Structure 1
């Protein structure tokens, strides 16, 4: 059997230019979040992304007894909280929305976070260039937070930067996944597989994560997503398998090329999530939570250059929301 690639700090390294851009991104986030209540016409400061909450689920994570890395988890059974959302930076209508869903998982033990896994229903990320991604991210935040003139200039910058990164959208792997996604874009939100965008440590190994629901219908019954979730739980149980895919070869399973699917690596079951309770999606306690994956225990930390950006950006959003609520 091939040896697993081990974690090293080089996977996460950012240049001085990228770090300066990350500082600008954090400032852009703070400005957006500080204005987010007015932008979204609500009485609280919202997140910088995945603002629209569809549902919050409470349950139990049960580690697979036969999994070789089981000792990473302090107990076989741990508490689990899931926030289901839309990826957009602003509140969006449930009737007219792109089906880009978030599935943020918090695994904890007596309120102590073991892992935050922000996951989405599309397995790839099109932009590998860190500087270019940060420039796009900065201008999008400035676009929504700015006045009419600022919106105009930032829109020009957004279009320019997207043109520059557009070749990454045409990677065969990315095109194939888009084609698959379009075929199931109208499926029931709980029936999707959910994926980690980037890589995580599992002990000292490198993995991608996937959540696979068990025996869930794909047909949408209700037009409103939150109602469809509520009605599903009136008659059905919901269980998902948490699986990992190991990195053995950086050409076949690249860490910092996020627009390419990993090949020649089978998924391994590491645990099961069983939902026990549906929580009010407007519960302010949940909305005040952070799902920053850098709050994970050391053995489950994110890996990669794009992933590295999450630490500062999540903190900037969370701190601004928290300070504005005081």
Structure 2
């Protein structure tokens, strides 16, 4: 009797598991077919600006101010994102000497040119936390002494060209409207509502939740070991492109970083200090661009979609070197805290495009001004300190 009961229960459990597998495979197939249809070209090669974007942007600025006030470090107002820096480093960005002529625009217009720069490496969270916590990681590059009129009219940034990237190829919202809903929920401490704003399943953003979870990745062994992406698109002269920075150790003398103690709260800074300051070993990257092909699904207005590398491969336009240096001093760390990075500190040839970039312009400028005013600080971003 007991044996028959167990056999019956086993058959029932087996059928139930088989049903779950069928439902799972079926759901995956339906989802793949749906997104294959939804994410098919062609797409626009020009920006498309929603009518309510300006009002949504103002509301996001107000939420961002709330966030920086929530995360104040004693009396200092921190960034609303990427608050914790691993270091600000002197760098050289050298344009390829054999760069293709159709990529020679803006700061890449002179093959072989080397720009002096600052590179800031950071964690993504708005509150400084232990490096071993799952988080996004960021790289911001500021080229110095760049001639020409800039998109930003702030005289403090008149000689700068900035690139802002982080270590995932896609963003977890599609546009400014979704960003407003998501960011507002997080600012109010209601993280569940960021991706599930109502009981209506049609409003759920499962795909974007998955992107967000992938973005919060384990820490690398060093900030130098990560690939960083612009996520949103930019102009490069007449082209629409995305940027990324990849490690290029082959361009530097061989170096192997000693194993780091990841229980230390700032082990990523320690890794930079070990390589650049103690072992005096430089680090190398390559700056690359990926061209939009509007015949395929490479949208300008939706940064949650990765542009297919099999259709448009990345092309190296410049090499980046972080030379051996001493960077971890109180004075330089304060200097680093007062730097402002904004993709709109830019030549017109590198104009940011797409809704998230338009949002960045307003939010970055507002929060930077608010932060420097509250901290009674001078923005040193043009300094060569």
Q: TM-score, normalised by structure 1?
A: 0.81
SS in 2 for 1:132: helix
The structure with higher relative contact order (CA 8 Å, sep 6+) is: 1
1:232 is aligned, of 250, 275, 278, to: 275
Cα distance change on mapping 1:191 and 1:205 into 2, 3 Å: same
| Residue 92 in structure 1 maps to residue 132 in structure 2 | no
- State the partner residue of 2:115: 78
Q: CA deviation at 1:13?
A: 1.3
**Partners in 2 of 1:119 and 1:281 — Cα distance?**
25
SS in 1 for 2:63: helix
Greater strand percent: which structure?
A: 1
SS in 2 for 1:248: coil
Q: Does structure 2 conserve the Cα–Cα contact (< 8 Å) formed by 1:120 and 1:196?
A: yes
| Residue 44 in structure 1 maps to residue 76 in structure 2 | yes
| Residue 251 in structure 1 maps to residue 283 in structure 2 | no
Cα distance change on mapping 1:165 and 1:201 into 2, 3 Å: farther
- State the partner residue of 1:292: 342
- The 5-angstrom pairing of residues 205-224 of structure 1 reads 205-215=239-249, 220-223=259-262, 224=267
List gaps (5 residues or longer) in structure 1.
Answer: 144-150
Task: State the superposition RMSD in angstroms.
Answer: 3.0
**Partners in 1 of 2:86 and 2:204 — Cα distance?**
31
Q: TM-score, normalised by structure 2?
A: 0.70
Runs ≥4 residues deviating over 6 A: none
Q: Does structure 1 conserve the Cα–Cα contact (< 8 Å) formed by 2:195 and 2:204?
A: no
Q: Number of residue pairs matched? A: 300
SS in 2 for 1:294: coil
1:197 is aligned, of 231, 251, 272, to: 231
List gaps (5 residues or longer) in structure 2.
Answer: 1-42, 147-156, 250-254, 377-385
SS in 1 for 2:366: helix
Q: CA deviation at 1:222?
A: 3.4
**Partners in 1 of 2:257 and 2:44 — Cα distance?**
38
Cα distance change on mapping 1:190 and 1:200 into 2, 3 Å: same
- State the partner residue of 1:167: 206
Moved more, 155-164 or 252-261: 155-164
**Partners in 2 of 1:125 and 1:134 — Cα distance?**
14
Q: CA deviation at 1:167?
A: 3.4
2:54 is aligned, of 6, 14, 19, to: 19
Larger Rg belongs to: 2
Q: CA deviation at 1:268?
A: 1.1
**Partners in 2 of 1:190 and 1:311 — Cα distance?**
27
Moved more, 283-292 or 199-208: 283-292
Cα distance change on mapping 1:217 and 1:210 into 2, 3 Å: farther
